[in-house]
Structure 1
Amino acid sequence: MDALLANEQKNEFVENSIVPGKIVEKRNDGALVDIGYKAEGFIPAAEFRNWADVKVGDQVDVYLEEIENENSMPGISLQKANFIKSWNKITSEYGEGSVITGLMKHRVKGGIIIDLNGVEAFLPGSQIDIGPVKNMDDFIGKEYEFKILKINQERRNIVVSRRELLEASRKDRRSQLLKDMEVNQIRKGVVKNITDFGAFIDLGGIDGLLHITDMSWGRISHPSEMLEIGQEVEVMILDIDYDKERVSLGLKQKTKNPWDEVETKYPVGSTVKGRIVNIMPYGAFVEIEQGVEGLIHVSEMSWTKRVTKAGDIVSVGEEVEAVVLDIDKEGKKISLGLRQKTRNPWEVLAEKYPAGSRIKGKVRNMTSYGAFV
């Protein structure tokens, strides 16, 4: 009779299913759970999420692995029951593309395991952040939102991404930031990167390009002369390309263009002081003030010498005085003369030896058409 009752009781249970139970005894290493069978099943303490809070009388759902194991006890698992319930909940309420909160659990090869309320998902290393991650351990134990990329029902695994959510959020911020921007507006930013042609400025969600030609009214050879990575700067919005999401920035435009007053400050015929900043075969460039340079052409360097190279007369860094010969405000050009600091010797000669006067001299050279004295 007992064997018959036992068989009937066995028939009431189905292996590989979830059954309700109640904790009837709590031990140091685990708990006995009554599922209505003739014997209680045992669940190790490690399967409980908060073992310290577990008490006798608690109702739990367990996974029935086998009706009777080698100890004549039902083989049950709380962990598997929680996984199945969580899996069913996640796959029924969430799908690929959905957003779910999870806990960064521990590192594995190629990424991090994420706990999604009892279901482990895989977060590839490339999907942790927008940029490269130097130390994955910095993320362990923290909760974040993730986007479900793929659910495999057969293998019961889930692949998630945090990067896609960050990129979507950044894109929204970029769009809003572009809407708030206006040409000629002053914005604060941080120098993010420096190249030979300029610097990229982080404006709080979108990078703008500050070209080297828009950094200073004066001459600079490299952006690093004025800026360094991490430096906070105030820049002016010069242009916005909404389609390509590009912003052009200016630094020199925050100050007055020195060429606006050159005709008043340096009228034609006046003498100016400056420093030689560049030498070309045809002349030398003189910095009169920051942002204003004038050219001394080789033909304006000496009254008596035939100058073929400007470097024979002046050198870079040399302080000189020159006379303003001409100003092209629109073209931002000033013509300077070095020889005009002294009188033209031919004018002096004409005054000293007027036509018709007698002079003495030494024959220097003879030609077929005359003599040079």
Structure 2
Amino acid sequence: MSQADITANSTSENFAELLDQSFQEMASIEGSVVSGTVLSIEKDMILIDVGLKSEGRVSIREFGNSEDDIQINPGDIVEVYIERLEDINGHAVLSREKAKREESWINLEKALEEQKRVNGVIFGKVKGGFTVDLEGATAFLPGSQVDIRPIKDLGALMGTPQPFQILKMDRRRGNIVVSRRAVLEDSRAEAKSELVANLQEGQVLQGIVKNITDYGAFVDLGGVDGLLHVTDISWKRINHPSEALQMGESVQVKVIKFNDETQRISLGIKQLTEDPWLKVIDRFPVGSKMNGVVTNITDYGSFVELEDGIEGLVHVSEMSWTKKNVHPGKIVSTSEKVEVIVLEIDVSKRRISLGIKQCIENPWKSYKDNNKTGITIEGEIRNITEFGLFIGLSDDIDGLVHLSDLSWDGNGDELIKGFTKGDTIKAKILDIDVDKERISLGIKQLTEDLASSEIDNIRKGSTVTCTIAVISDNGLDVTVGDNIKGFIKKSDLARERNDQRTDRYGVGDKVDATVTNIDKKQRKINLSIKAREIEEEKKAMAEFGSSDSGASLGDILGAALAKKDKISKE
């Protein structure tokens, strides 16, 4: 073989190797991102030279949605993704979007490795979460990773660039999972450290209502929670924090107390405004008439709000002149507007005593002004109790006839049974007590008390003639004169024990007895035959002799009786 043939063969082999190497290199760039030069911009395509044997074409839509978005000119260098070296027309198939996606994946993988945050935009909602655009790469944001606390309205987050933390990536499957919550928690930790380091009592902060309980609300101050007690929410009465606060609400609070050791923070909202009690005496002087709203009703009265933060108590005794032993809820109702009078103010205890009944005329005083004691009235029996009768004197006022004022004679417990509710009766006004809101009436006072005048003529120790009315085992019920009642105990029936027998007497018999006791209030007297006999014996002994003279008691009594008979005959 000649030298020329050898040289030709060698050149041919080298060319084949180079050509094969070239083909291998060209094949290896499929699926990779390369730089290309923009050759021209046609109607819907952009021609780009990427160093291949033919230029590639990219849809103009991959560079923007409108002419204003497309910022590219011939000669610009752009990154493109080579999908295929040639299509059916011999052109390289390029993609700007895939190039951006590949570039994003590389950057995202680096960020995941270095645990760096990445920026993205939430642009769609899918099952279980949301889709996020991470500069060309689509990521999944689980619903649980959106925020630290549930968010009702995600509208403000959609389409807004914000940082995310990559949780995991699977390039083969094209999956990326990100978290917005992780970024917020890191920010909270940083903010908490800074907040606690600079926290001071008296500071005014902005927070979010995180939780509401019966005793208050927990407010998130940005990484650390503070307690807003129900009593520190408002100067006005609040029964439950939910009346003034809502979950997720943004509130301005003041740091009332901060314990650096326990990290406990006490907050207040009402402390941001002036204490209305500081000027309460000037605003609501005692005796002034005010308008208010009933805010709460209890067994012992009702609370009336005079203005925001200022409430007073209308005790049940100050609600009505005439409605006694009635629950306040039957006199006023919640949210009702009422007129009240300021009765008393205790600023130290933050208490105001109010009255409703004082705003109207006192019917007890009015009745006393128009009626005098001693006059006779007529009214309906409205109620019968164990201690007397209540007689209606007006629409609101009753008078009481006590048992003891039913009759001059007889037992009140028995007499009251003769009255019926609804009957109309007459009575005399005995007393009108405005302060005690009480009117005393009497029925027996309508007639003269004959027994009282008769009993005034009887003296203790005097001897009177009695008529036996009732005989019992204990003694004798008797009458003295026409109206006085008396009683002789069995032991007082005779001086001698053998003669102390009730069977010696009969109803209607008349006996002489000595008055031993007078009860003018009950208009009764106690008498004793025994005492009369002893008294007569003493007189006889003094007049006719003594036991020392030798005369017997029988002789003396006989002489005394004989003298008595002689005098009576004369």
Alignment partners' CA distance in 2, 1:300 and 1:52: 83
Does the 8 A contact of 2:314 with 2:353 survive in 1?
yes
**Partner SS for 1:13:** helix
Does the 8 A contact of 2:252 with 2:269 survive in 1?
no
**Partner SS for 1:14:** helix
Alignment of 1:242-321 (within 5 A): 247-251=266-270, 255=274, 258=277, 280-281=298-299, 291=310, 293=312, 296=315, 307-309=324-326, 311=328
Name 1:31's counterpart in structure 2: 47
Does the 8 A contact of 2:119 with 2:161 survive in 1?
yes
Report how far residue 65 of structure 1 moved: 4.2
Does the 8 A contact of 2:406 with 2:412 survive in 1?
no
Equivalent position to 1:364, from 390, 401, 406: 406
Does the 8 A contact of 1:95 with 1:148 survive in 2?
no
Name 1:156's counterpart in structure 2: 174
Report how far residue 177 of structure 1 moved: 3.8
Alignment partners' CA distance in 2, 1:193 and 1:271: 44
Unaligned runs of 5+ in 1: 344-361
**Partner SS for 1:173:** helix
Structure with greater helix share of residues: 2
**Partner SS for 2:140:** strand
Closer, same or farther in 2 for the Cα pair 1:155/1:7, shift >3 Å? Answer: same
Matched, 1:14 2:27: yes
Closer, same or farther in 2 for the Cα pair 1:230/1:53, shift >3 Å? Answer: same
**Partner SS for 1:95:** helix
Alignment partners' CA distance in 2, 1:285 and 1:108: 52
Closer, same or farther in 2 for the Cα pair 1:320/1:88, shift >3 Å? Answer: closer
How many matched pairs? Answer: 342
Name 1:92's counterpart in structure 2: 110
Name 2:151's counterpart in structure 1: 132
Alignment of 1:1-373 (within 5 A): 4=16, 6-7=19-20, 9-15=22-28, 16=30, 18=32, 20=34, 22-23=36-37, 25-28=39-42, 29-35=45-51, 37=52, 39-46=53-60, 49=63, 52-56=71-75, 58-59=76-77, 62-95=80-113, 97-103=115-121, 106-107=123-124, 109-110=126-127, 111-116=130-135, 118-124=136-142, 127-128=145-146, 131-132=150-151, 134=153, 139-140=158-159, 142-185=160-203, 210-215=228-233, 219=237, 236-240=254-258, 247-251=266-270, 255=274, 258=277, 280-281=298-299, 291=310, 293=312, 296=315, 307-309=324-326, 311=328, 363-365=405-407, 366-367=410-411
Does the 8 A contact of 2:84 with 2:93 survive in 1?
yes
What is the identity, as a one-letter code, of the residue corresponding to 2:162? Y
Query: In percent, how many aligned pairs have the same letter?
Result: 27
Could you state the TM-score of these two structures normalised by the residue count of structure 1? Answer: 0.60
**Partner SS for 2:113:** coil
Does the 8 A contact of 1:259 with 1:329 survive in 2?
no
Q: Greater RCO between the two (CA within 8 Å, min separation 6)?
A: 1
Instruction: Say what the alpha-carbon RMSD is for the aligned residues.
Output: 5.8
Q: Deviations over 1:245-304 (max 9, x none)?
A: 654315169545849999xx99xxx978788956655566688997574674759998xx
Structure possessing the higher radius of gyration over alpha carbons = 2
**Partner SS for 1:154:** coil
Report how far residue 96 of structure 1 moved: 7.4
Does the 8 A contact of 1:238 with 1:250 survive in 2?
no
Alignment partners' CA distance in 1, 2:94 and 2:280: 90
Q: Deviations over 1:126-151 (max 9, x none)?
A: 545555364659733x4322211211
What is the identity, as a one-letter code, of the residue corresponding to 1:308? N
Closer, same or farther in 2 for the Cα pair 1:175/1:245, shift >3 Å? Answer: farther
